[in-house]
Structure 1
Amino acid sequence: MILNNVRHLDQTYQERMEDRRQVKGQSTVKGFTQSNIIIPKKVITKPSNLTSITNIDIGNEVCHVAFITVYKAASSTAHNVFLRFGWARNLTFVLSSTRSKFGYPNVISSTESLTKSNILPKPNGKHFDIQCSHIIYNKSAFEYFLPNDTIYIGIVREPYEQYKSTLHYYRPRYIFKNIKGDFPASIYIRDPLKYEPRSIFKYKFNSSEVRLILETLASEFKLVIISEQMEESIVLMRRYLHWNMKDIVFLDQNVAFNKKDNRLVRPHDRYFYRKWAKLRAQIRDQGPDFDDELILVKEVRKDTSIFCLNDSKGGEIIPINTSKWRRPFNIIWEDCKLFRMGERLFQQIIRERQYGPMHI
């Protein structure tokens, strides 16, 4: 039953935000502080046969990217990819002028788009390269601050799973404190309008207008990542952005999927998801070798996960040899620290390098 799908949300929730466990300037990652991040200048690799690398890798890598995050849509996993890419190249990020009212350095605003007052100015002599903080998307506002050749990447998640994850993570007081009974989430889902009189449920959505908006967005975004197809999405993104394979290696962060349908989700929400959940059309355009690269990425991710979870801090490395889709590279322990780093801590460290400790 539908109500059984959310009943587990009524249990006592013990999770605490990572930043609340931190002492300012320190990390919950064992053995890590900002001062001991090491980005190796040299890595031992096997000789590369550059003639075996396709045009996908030879093209100039895209360094101007806007990633439009969505709460509880596995955006933390994708976010880490963008942060690591920019960190390794010392690119300039768009960052919040102050911490959000919730105390999160990775949130610029939940009510407006980019403005001169809610972000820090560009460092002297530089321009913004990457925007991946939480912010309301507005194309005109983004174009004002970002270069003209910026590539826009979005992300979506199956609507009902996103709804459940949001309730479980944020546990809003108006549901879990104000609704009396043993199962407040179950009571809420029976009649949301009763507890949210100004909820979006009461507004009427013209389906043709929704489709028009989505067509506009489709023309503005190069790719929309599908959370349930994260690996396929990331491989496709690598090809679009001409990044190296090491740039897209990732470890799952805060991801848990339970594929169940729920007809309480509004039709426009489900249409929005289905609009983007058609990666196969884009993948087909990549040719028959896409699935071969996908298999390779899965293998590299599996080996990386095992290596990083072993907590071996010595000189061990994983050598990744050259192939049709990649130049050779190594995975070392210092990479694991970055793979596992949460976006809030990562942005704090980027903020200090970009502007100095006064803005932490």
Structure 2
Amino acid sequence: MTLSETEMLRKDLLVLVAVSVLLIWTMYAALGLSHHSLSPFSTRNHSQPVLKPKQTNVVFLKTHKTGSSTMQNLMFRFAERHNLTVAFPKKECGYMFCYPRSFNTRFVHPGTLPANIITHHMRFNHAEVRRLMPNNTVYITILREPASMFESMFAYFKETCEIFKKAPSLEAFMEEPQLYYQPNEPNKGSVAARNCLTFDLGGDKDRPATDAAYVRDFLAKVDRSFSLVMIAEHFDESLVLLRRLLSWDFDDVLYVKQNMRTAGSKRTSLAPGLASKMRAWNSLDVQLYDHFNASLWRKLAALGPALVAEELRLLRQAQERLMQSCFGERKLQLRSAKQIKDTKLRPYLNDNNVDIVGYDLPDNVSHDGSSSQKVQKLCLRLITPELQYSDLLRDRETSGGKSTFT
């Protein structure tokens, strides 16, 4: 082989290598992956390139009875693992930002500023939140099908919402809702009783749904404010979009469900007539949900079904590895909160008879934090209820402590 032929062959090989590298990078870019994103317990290897830095300034608007407690736990874990600051409500506001009042920066605990993450209940006020958060903050929220959500609201708040308390049953309430409903009922009553999603997002829950101009403007306003509106019924698909939007890894979006009702407290199904009445009563929420459910599927379609299917496969594969690493051959057992003796793991119970499920601490996880293994800490945090996790992070932040994950 002549020298010129050897040189040409070398150039051809270099071109082939370059094309191969480009194809690999293209595949990773299409999936939004980095080398470490396939393992739920991976440690970053800084010798490998990352396509985009992770988004660390995020507002997750926590809405009522939508699966938002599961998302809040996910946000807490991300903040803790990356040593970020979560903005917490001041003491007088409890665990919400003085809800149902419209959000104001005065409602934030000063010891939890400047903030990277907001993830507690509030009545959304975009102008006020923007005063608090960096300019590159990404805004996210979650919605749930309104009839299913309203049934859950009625069951959960039956004894604490005066409007619901007056009605002998959900069926009786829906037969004549105006007989019980008072728009200005104190103590959050009217908030729970009609168009709660609209109210949480800063809208007028009592605006007639026939006011097409108002509905159009409100939907446009929510569209401008939020980069992603998740849908509870399509939680994993929503996480596909979330992960790509924030450039997070799969281990950042793993979860176990939080704050669910026990099976015995749920209706197995809703009569068609009852569901229709609930949707008509919450018609603003229905228009909100339908709009963003369609938007979610347009975004997924833009990615392509093959790519979405692969993302879901990888997500669920990572989820299975997480369960195996945390609990081994044991299946994670849901237990009634009343059966959980460890108060650090017992979900909050309100004054209703509705019971909430939680998780017992598996034997292979250290509760006192003595283990240095990140896996064990992650497993514990996964099953820590929202109020206890809030207390842990708030106390650490206000005392100047650092995350044990870093």
The two structures share one fold, judged by TM-score above 0.5: yes
**Which of 230, 233, 236 in structure 1 is aligned with 2:235?**
230
Show CA shifts across 1:231-280 (max 9, x none).
11112101110111111010111347967562222332211101111222
Shift in alpha-carbon separation, 1:274–1:112, aligned structure 2, 3 A? same
Equivalent position SS for 2:120: coil
Q: Structure 1: 5+ residue runs without aligned partners?
A: 1-42, 316-329
Shift in alpha-carbon separation, 1:306–1:217, aligned structure 2, 3 A? same
**Are positions 1:59 and 2:52 aligned together?**
yes
Q: 2:403 is matched with which residue?
A: none
Q: 2:380 is matched with which residue?
A: 337
Show CA shifts across 1:196-241 (max 9, x none).
1336587523123112210121122110110011111112101110
Q: How does 1:42-121 map to 2 (within 5 A)?
A: 58-100=51-93, 104-105=94-95, 107-121=96-110
Alignment partners' CA distance in 1, 2:133 and 2:44: 38
**Are positions 1:284 and 2:306 aligned together?**
no
The code of the aligned residue for 2:170 comes to A
Structure label with greater radius of gyration:
2
The alignment covers a number of residue pairs equal to 288
**Which of 164, 171, 180 in structure 2 is aligned with 1:186?**
171
Shift in alpha-carbon separation, 1:58–1:344, aligned structure 2, 3 A? same
Shift in alpha-carbon separation, 1:196–1:62, aligned structure 2, 3 A? same
Shift in alpha-carbon separation, 1:140–1:164, aligned structure 2, 3 A? same
**Are positions 1:295 and 2:326 aligned together?**
no
**Which of 259, 262, 276 in structure 2 is aligned with 1:263?**
276
Query: What is the deviation of 1:60?
Result: 0.7
Give TM-score scaled by structure 2 length: 0.64
The code of the aligned residue for 1:139 comes to H
**Are positions 1:273 and 2:277 aligned together?**
no
CA RMSD of aligned residues (A): 3.0
Q: 1:356 is matched with which residue?
A: 399
Aligned 8 A contact 1:175 1:184 in 2 = no
Aligned 8 A contact 1:81 1:248 in 2 = yes
Q: How does 1:95-174 map to 2 (within 5 A)?
A: 95-100=88-93, 104-105=94-95, 107-121=96-110, 127-173=114-160, 174=162
Question: Greater CA deviation, 212-221 or 69-78?
Answer: 212-221
Alignment partners' CA distance in 2, 1:129 and 1:143: 12
Shift in alpha-carbon separation, 1:48–1:142, aligned structure 2, 3 A? closer
Identity %: 23
Aligned 8 A contact 1:64 1:130 in 2 = yes
Question: Greater CA deviation, 295-304 or 239-248?
Answer: 295-304
Shift in alpha-carbon separation, 1:355–1:140, aligned structure 2, 3 A? same
Alignment partners' CA distance in 2, 1:293 and 1:153: 20
Alignment partners' CA distance in 2, 1:73 and 1:44: 28
Q: Structure 2: 5+ residue runs without aligned partners?
A: 1-39, 184-189, 195-204, 331-361, 367-372, 401-406
Give TM-score scaled by structure 1 length: 0.71
**Which of 313, 331, 346 in structure 1 is aligned with 2:364?**
313
**Are positions 1:250 and 2:250 aligned together?**
no
Equivalent position SS for 2:223: helix
Alignment partners' CA distance in 2, 1:111 and 1:254: 21
Bigger relative contact order, structure 1 or 2 (CA pairs below 8 A, ≥6 apart): 1
Question: Greater CA deviation, 285-294 or 340-349?
Answer: 285-294
Alignment partners' CA distance in 2, 1:236 and 1:88: 21
Shift in alpha-carbon separation, 1:343–1:148, aligned structure 2, 3 A? same
Query: What is the deviation of 1:177?
Result: 4.6
Q: Which has the higher helix share?
A: 2
Aligned 8 A contact 1:312 1:333 in 2 = no
Shift in alpha-carbon separation, 1:275–1:88, aligned structure 2, 3 A? same
Aligned 8 A contact 2:154 2:164 in 1 = no
Alignment partners' CA distance in 2, 1:45 and 1:203: 49
Query: What is the deviation of 1:111?
Result: 2.4
Q: 1:347 is matched with which residue?
A: 390
Alignment partners' CA distance in 2, 1:356 and 1:47: 28
Alignment partners' CA distance in 1, 2:390 and 2:365: 27
Equivalent position SS for 2:107: coil
